[in-house]
Structure 1
Amino acid sequence: MLKFVTVDRDMPEKRDAQERNKDFNEIYAEYAKAKAEEQASRCSQCGVPYCQSHCPLHNNIPDWLNMTATGRLEEAYQISQATNSFPEICGRICPQDRLCEGNCVIEQSGHGTVTIGSVEKYITDTAWENGWVKPIVPTAERDQSVGIIGAGPGGMAAADILRRQGVQVTIYDRYDRAGGLLTYGIPGFKLEKDVVMRRIEQLEKSGVEFVLNCNVGEDISFDAIRGKHDAVLIATGVYKTRDLSGPGSTATGIERAIDYLTVSNKLSFGDDVAEYNDGTMNAAGKKVVVIGGGDTAMDCVRTAIRQGATSVKCLYRRDRANMPGSQREVQNAEEEGVEFVWLAAPKGFTEADGKVNGVMVQKMRLGAPDASGRQAPEVIEGADYVEEADLVIKALGFEPEDLPKLWNTDGLEVTRWGTIKAEFTTGKTALDGVYAVGDIVRGASLVVWAIKDGRDSAEAILDYLNDAQSVAAE
């Protein structure tokens, strides 16, 4: 260990932009064993590991880096898996530059951060290859059951913890495949789909039942799920897209990011998708404008490049330093041919025969900080112009659906933002035996936070089930 002074930071090789633009495969290669050990050996094993404290899951990062550096990979995997239900997924899609790596002690001293995410990915991929990842076999089965609504990272992480304690778990999801945004929201060039599918298969082999194509409130009532199970966990995520008003906003060719990404990901499974075949969600030969500055916007612009768009531009109302998305993703997008138009906000849309052909853009400048501390964008009068576009994708973030109304249920309290009111750390709601986790509580957030919430809430549900069991035994 402690080789950061003599060994430089070295990321896995990244495929050339002109090569990776032609497919949806992941853009980073895997570390070789020697390189993974070398990079892990750069860890300073500091007394106060800021990487660990800034990880939502508080992963034991220095320990599994030590195990990797000394060739004890199976132990590294066991340490990694102890705090994270899906380390191979977090290693691929977590914004390490803002979390663990961004707070690495040796980077603060000018030596370049340890490549924590790439080593984490290497550890778990090696574990899969060597058969160290096995279905869960609880020491004893329980007759209590939990119904989980939503098969995304929060719901599946909770299922993982509950099955380890022998609880019977059923996950209900509206889509035809489990995984939530891991399956249909995140493109393959960041997270190849077989990585998600093998985790789902592991949970199925562990005894988790998935009820797919099941829309709660239509195919089954929320009250029916409550009646069937001893506890219920709501992990639906947030899928309602923030919208844009203004002239021309109802023109065809203006699409939601989630719809666009879902169509693209369905294609990666070999599905026949009508919206792609008829050109509605196909960027080939089109001038594409994506509106937004988060990671979803980055996913959209990079997908459009791969679909063969003639040009792809990303409009964001602040500057590069103030955008919410990962800087690493911005760099990848620029390498692949995306043009960023900073300090630009949509005012409306131009159209011909009902079809969009341009975005009316207002140029902005940054003014005084707003309530969050970020500089608020202000309109520069008289600087409007039109950005040509054949396809416009709105990536403005997500809001919660009105679940109490959709599910026709009373007592499920929501905040003024529409998110479910739930107790911090446990996810307990106002309804007895009902818990909620992830984006439906936090608002649109990171996958790693959903995993954290799912695991924490599962522990609270176990306490609830144990209390119920004790009362029944008296």
Structure 2
Amino acid sequence: MAERMLQFVRLSQQTPQKRTASQRREDFREIYNRFDPESASEQASRCSQCGVPFCQVHCPLNNNIPDWLKLTAEGRLEEAYEVAAATNTFPEVCGRVCPQDRLCEGNCVIEKGFDSVTIGSVERYIVDTAWEKGWVKPPTPSRENGYSVGIIGAGPAGLAAAERLRIRGFAVHVYDRYDRVGGLMIYGIPSFKLEKEVVMARWKQFEAGGIQFHLGVEIGRDITLEALRERHDAIFLATGVYKARDVELPGAELSGIVPALAYLTASNRQGLGDSVPEFESGALDAAGKHVVVIGGGDTAMDCVRTAVRQGAASVKCLYRRDKANMPGSMREVRNAEEEGVEFLWLSAPAGFEGKAGAVVAVRATQMHLGLPDVTGRQQVEPIPGSEFTVQADLAIKALGFDPEDLPAMFNEPALTVTRWGTLKVDHRTMMTDLPGVFAGGDIVRGASLVVWGIRDGRDAAEQIAEYVLSKAQVARAAE
């Protein structure tokens, strides 16, 4: 057990042991082993306990990171869990999938010269231990308050709001069009980053706490938004963004060119034991194929690493900027490189070549970085005469996600949207133009991180509770 903090001058950074690349390529298990108690305590003791904790400042949830690091260093794990859970609905998820290198760890004050504290790995250790010890409890209220809230979307934002509202005594009903709870945590993120048992454990805990889930329910088809508004005292829209961005290129109609989410969902469903015809037919299975993934974000990294595990003959990632400008986590890029993925930097797709109606190659153009634009980011420009082709039996487009047309889907034109298609809300109250209908997560901010979804869900829960209880108080006063 660590005797004191500020041990970064004595102890070097140590991450949990990572399984070898050859082992990782063979299965979809998580790639990192867990800290043992001694290592977790030692690594937590490296925290400098600085006066202005930039790790906490740069965490979207403002997690009390120095506090639970100190408690872990002292061996007070149950208290560490209580502190972590006070600000985070899913600390076991964030410890696994957050890009700590861009958030908390990337802003650790000892990073320059001593390497950051391994915040994410310690967080995962704390919460996994909490689950094993039975410290994680269902969100059970001390008393019911008699009001109900309907939540549309069982992803990070919707679930975070559900947990907060349930603890405050609301009857909470969560509606989702899919057959499992978790949103992209269950179907979008591969198991080698987030094993599905982790998500499903929370699902069962939430059910045990009295949160009611209505799965396979599509708003606008199975029930109207208007009907839900009549059924509940408030509504929270947390649908996420699922519309794949596309690029119009010659040959895009060929078979074998698929969107990233369809590919990842098929893989995750197959791993969960579902029958997936598109996977079984080989259409969404990379086994034996030459795979090219177009894009440079975390979704692209999920796709290339999934293809490796499915037994692809080769896996290449085509990205129009250089490595330093990758929008995804550098940690994920390193993992992909270790597992055999080849990156074609400064390369943009120009079209697809086919044979007998199926893709056989991606045509690409080499790019170079030009002058910065108004955002300060360097523009990319094609190099004349630099075209080349890359063999591809399966081309996966991982170009990001846009919102679906919710006003049309829900048959509710009073829902207004921004020029990006996201829902327009009052950012102080998180309410849409429909009274009593709130929104948060990706459907408001655009495609973002799990941790931002959690933040929005928790914030929305506070606004919803204030709205419902204040409205009830006014009604009572008028009687």
Distance 2:231 2:291 in 1: 47
Shift of 1:425: 5.1
Residue 168 of structure 2 corresponds to residue 187 of structure 1: no
Q: 3-state SS of the aligned residue for 1:19?
A: helix
Q: 3-state SS of the aligned residue for 2:110?
A: helix
- 1:221-258 Cα offsets, whole Å, 9 max, x none, are 11111111110000000000011212100110000100
Shift of 1:370: 2.0
| Structure 1: segments with no counterpart, 5+ residues | none
Conserved in 2, the CA contact under 8 Å of 1:350 and 1:360?
yes
Shift of 1:410: 2.3
1:52 to 50, 56, 79: 56
Distance 1:290 1:370 in 2: 26
Distance 2:167 2:128 in 1: 22
Distance 1:85 1:346 in 2: 40
Runs of 4+ aligned structure 1 residues displaced above 2 Å come to: 423-426
2:254 to 237, 251, 265: 251
- 1:332-353 Cα offsets, whole Å, 9 max, x none, are 0000000000001111100111
Amino acid at match of 1:344: S
Q: 3-state SS of the aligned residue for 2:471?
A: helix
Q: 3-state SS of the aligned residue for 1:255?
A: strand
Distance 1:242 1:2 in 2: 46
Shift of 1:271: 1.0
Q: TM-score by structure 1 length?
A: 0.99
1:360 to 347, 360, 363: 363
Residue 271 of structure 2 corresponds to residue 299 of structure 1: no
Q: Which residue of 1 aligns with 2:178?
A: 175
Residue 166 of structure 2 corresponds to residue 151 of structure 1: no
Distance 2:6 2:243 in 1: 47
Q: Which residue of 2 aligns with 1:5?
A: 9
Distance 1:342 1:315 in 2: 7
Equivalences for residues 94-105 of structure 1 within 5 A: 94-105=98-109
Shift of 1:371: 2.7
Residue 276 of structure 2 corresponds to residue 283 of structure 1: no
Amino acid at match of 2:307: A
1:76 to 74, 80, 83: 80
Q: Which residue of 1 aligns with 2:32?
A: 28
Amino acid at match of 2:43: Q
Amino acid at match of 1:102: G
State the identity as a percent: 62
- 1:160-214 Cα offsets, whole Å, 9 max, x none, are 1000101011111111101000000000000000000001111111111111111
Q: Which residue of 2 aligns with 1:373?
A: 376
Distance 1:371 1:194 in 2: 44
Residue 125 of structure 2 corresponds to residue 125 of structure 1: no
Amino acid at match of 1:152: G
Shift of 1:362: 1.1
Distance 2:11 2:470 in 1: 53
Amino acid at match of 1:367: G
Conserved in 2, the CA contact under 8 Å of 1:425 and 1:457?
no
Residue 300 of structure 2 corresponds to residue 271 of structure 1: no
Alignment coverage as a number of residue pairs: 473
Q: 3-state SS of the aligned residue for 2:203?
A: helix
Distance 2:108 2:97 in 1: 18
Distance 2:465 2:71 in 1: 32
Q: 3-state SS of the aligned residue for 2:114?
A: coil
Q: 3-state SS of the aligned residue for 1:405?
A: helix
Q: Which residue of 1 aligns with 2:342?
A: 339
Q: Which residue of 1 aligns with 2:20?
A: 16
1:456 to 459, 468, 471: 459
Residues 331 and 425 from structure 1, CA distance in 2 versus in 1: closer, same or farther, beyond 3 angstroms? farther
Amino acid at match of 1:41: S
Distance 1:256 1:175 in 2: 18
- 1:424-445 Cα offsets, whole Å, 9 max, x none, are 2542111100111111001110
Residues 90 and 426 from structure 1, CA distance in 2 versus in 1: closer, same or farther, beyond 3 angstroms? farther
Q: Which residue of 2 aligns with 1:166?
A: 169
Distance 1:425 1:198 in 2: 33
1:85 to 79, 84, 89: 89
Distance 1:17 1:423 in 2: 47
Q: TM-score by structure 2 length?
A: 0.98
Residue 408 of structure 2 corresponds to residue 405 of structure 1: yes
Distance 1:148 1:136 in 2: 16
Distance 1:15 1:425 in 2: 46
Distance 1:191 1:199 in 2: 13
Amino acid at match of 1:283: A
Distance 1:135 1:28 in 2: 28
Shift of 1:111: 0.7
Amino acid at match of 2:460: S
Conserved in 2, the CA contact under 8 Å of 1:426 and 1:456?
no
Q: CA RMSD in A?
A: 0.7
